[in-house]
Copies of this chain bind each other. A is one copy, B any other.
Amino acid sequence: MEKEVTIYDIAKILNLSPATVSRALNDHPAINSKTKLSIANTAAELGYRSNTFASNLRRKSTSTLGVIVPRLDSSFMSAVLAGMEEVANKAGYNLLISQSLESQGKEKSNAKTMYNSRVDGLLVSLAYDTEGFDHFENFVKKRVPVLFFDRIFDHSECATIVIDNEKAGYDVTSHLIMQGCTHILHVTGNLKRNVYIDRLSGYRKALEAHGIAFDEAWVLETDLSREAGKAAVDYMEKLPVRPDAIFVANDICAISCIQELKQRGYRIPEDIAIAGFNNDPVSQVVEPSLTTVYYPGKEMGAIAVKTMINHLTGTSDIDPANSVVLQSELLIRDSSRKLQREARN
């Protein structure tokens, strides 16, 4: 290992003080631009690189944001991360990313790591089964800002970035009803999570608004996996009345439903209409194409980081007052165009 060049080396060569070198390197306004130039030059010549630790140690701030997501390998999450990375990178922040694999235990241990790594702020989307806020309490205590996105936790000191899941659920359900569907099965995820309980609530309200009775038996709580799709079809076939639509809370599972239904001889949407959620790339490719909800993942990531950085740089606070509700959008595709299809036949 070659020895590292420090600001002292530069200072000695140019007959300056280390402080001046430090300031010049940080583009401090009160430094002569010629001095800056010569410092920059010799720094480059010597192959100097600033020592982030020393700087962090001194300044008591990393320029790093921690991110905890349920899974890295989902198209939605990778869109979010892409958005985050872009904004963070531009603002000179690094991202420390980890996944909870949908497990509360791993989420807790990840939070601990982030805490010890002294991230400047923490961005979290909760795991499937997380309960309680304990593992983030440390951050709040030390006044490290925590921001939740997508799968959030309501807390008086945390901002949140979400879409209006209830409205989205309402819109999807209303749309299905407008297509003539009256028996709509809702396949959802863990109802501890806002995203699912809110979509359910929208589903329910839409039913009631159209004079359709809500029935708990028509709500199926699953893990929204591919396998859950098949199980949902099994469940559906056992219902006393055959549904004429299924509203699934994500696309992956919705598509698995479509495939399973097709295999069992159902026509979509004639026999059963399907709607998903997220606008996952597969939703456009499946046949019939899947009616779904556009979820602005990349924007969500970008705004989450922006909000965080604004707070860190003192522009704003990180409490619920700064929460954002992003716009989602119903995308009507073939899997639910029921009236039109029948009219055509």
Residues of A participating in the B interface, judged by any CB pair closer than 8 Å:
1-2, 47, 49-54, 56-57, 62, 64, 71-75, 77-79, 81-82, 85-86, 89, 94-99, 101, 110, 113, 115-118, 138, 141-143, 252, 255, 259, 281-282, 285-287, 298
Contact = CB atoms under 8 A, between A and B. Distances in A.
Give me the 10 closest cross-chain CB pairs, A-B, nearest first.
A53-B57, A73-B82, A72-B82, A73-B78, A53-B56, A78-B78, A53-B53, A72-B81, A282-B285, A285-B286
Contacts of A282: 281-282, 285
A59 B10 CA distance: 23
B298 A73 contact: yes
A142 B57 CA distance: 23
Nearest to A77: B78
Contacts of A47: 138, 141
Given A72-B81, A73-B81, A116 B52 contact: yes
Contacts of A49: 115-116, 118, 138
11 contacts: A49-B118, A53-B56, A53-B62, A72-B78, A72-B81, A73-B78, A73-B82, A81-B97, A86-B99, A97-B97, A282-B285
A301 to B, nearest CB: 9
Contact of A85 (B62, B78, B95, B98): B98
Contact of A255 (B57, B115, B117, B285): B285
